[in-house]
């Protein structure tokens, strides 16, 4: 059986806080493929300005090109209505019925999982790999997670050998957190502060070319 991982998000923009922890996950779980899925029309961001998904997909595609097992998925690019994580995971489960399926998410997102659409299906369709966000970890994270779901949790350190799971599992990948967010990058760009060291160089070039996140510019 192969190990297939899915990582969904707005990726507005895709930055090193997305890329570096995923590299650590790859080095630990040895995924056969990791699919990054830029969100098409995320319901929780309907009232927020969002860079068109075609541009966000392009940034992800360029940033992941150097990595042999990383792929940008256009699954949600052509979506016309709201897009839900559970449906995306169901797509990959149906496409890979005999493989081990993992869903990557930040610990901040994991702490809010109960607010997600059909979240109980998510934790049955795929194993979760929770990436370390510095402000939400340890006891703080545990307080936000249902007791029955926390019973599935196992802590994994980078490069540790991980056996194939025998049942639905939640892995906390205890890597060094990368303290940056897409929101802070957009704010820095809007204020004219440097972001070159916070995003892959391909993404930086794309942002500069199209003048994204600059105040008063489309």
Q: How far apart are CA 86 and CA 91, in angstroms?
A: 9
Share of the chain above pLDDT 70, in %: 97
- Cα 149 versus chain centre, distance: 20
Residue 46, pLDDT score:
64
Domains and CATH numbers, the chain: 3-210 (3.40.50.620)
- pLDDT tens for 31-85 read 999 999 999 987 766 667 899 999 999 999 999 999 999 999 999 998 888 899 9
Q: How far apart are CA 83 and CA 42, in angstroms?
A: 5
Provide the H-helix boundaries in 116-163.
119-125, 138-142, 147-150
Closest residue by Cα to residue 38 from 10, 71, 4, 67: 10
pLDDT band at 7 (very low <50, low <70, confident <90, very high): very high
Residue 36, pLDDT score:
98
Contact present, 88 and 121 (Cβ < 8 Å): no
* Number of residues that this document lists for the chain: 218
Closest residue by Cα to residue 123 from 172, 170, 171: 170
Closest residue by Cα to residue 100 from 202, 189, 187, 31: 31
Q: Would the pLDDT of 130 be above 70?
A: yes
Q: How far apart are CA 149 and CA 164, in angstroms?
A: 19
Helix, strand counts (H, E) of the chain: 9, 7
- On average, the pLDDT of the chain sits at 95
Helix axes 201-210, 53-64, angle to 10 degrees: 150
Residue 194, pLDDT score:
96
Contact present, 60 and 36 (Cβ < 8 Å): yes
Residue 71's H or E segment, with its range, is strand 70-72
Residue 106's H or E segment, with its range, is strand 100-106
Mean pLDDT of 211-216: 84
Residue 120 token pair: 């109980």
Q: Would the pLDDT of 3 be above 60?
A: yes
3-state secondary structure 2-33: CEEEEEEECCCCCCHHHHHHHHHHHHHHCCCE
Residue 57, pLDDT score:
98
């Amino acid at each position: 059986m192969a190990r297939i991982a899915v990582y969904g998000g707005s990726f507005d923009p895709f930055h090193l806080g997305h890329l570096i922890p995923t590299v650590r996950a790859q080095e630990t779980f040895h995924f056969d493929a990791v699919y990054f899925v830029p969100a098409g029309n995320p319901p929780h961001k309907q009232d927020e300005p969002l860079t068109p998904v075609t541009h966000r997909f392009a940034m992800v595609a360029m940033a992941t090109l150097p990595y042999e097992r990383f792929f940008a998925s256009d699954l949600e690019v052509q979506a016309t209505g709201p897009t839900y994580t559970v449906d995306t995971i169901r797509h990959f489960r149906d496409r890979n019925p005999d493989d081990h399926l993992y869903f990557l998410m930040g610990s901040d997102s994991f702490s809010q999982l109960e607010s997600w659409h059909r979240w109980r299906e998510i934790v049955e369709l795929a194993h979760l790999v929770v990436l370390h966000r510095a402000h939400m970890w340890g006891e703080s994270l545990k307080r936000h997670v249902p007791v029955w779901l926390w019973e599935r949790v196992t802590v994994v350190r980078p490069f540790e050998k991980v056996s194939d799971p025998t049942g639905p599992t939640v892995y906390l990948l205890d890597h060094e957190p990368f303290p940056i967010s897409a929101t802070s990058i957009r704010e820095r760009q809007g204020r004219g502060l440097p972001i070159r060291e916070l995003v892959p160089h391909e993404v930086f070039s794309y942002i500069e070319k199209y003048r994204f996140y600059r105040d008063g510019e489309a």
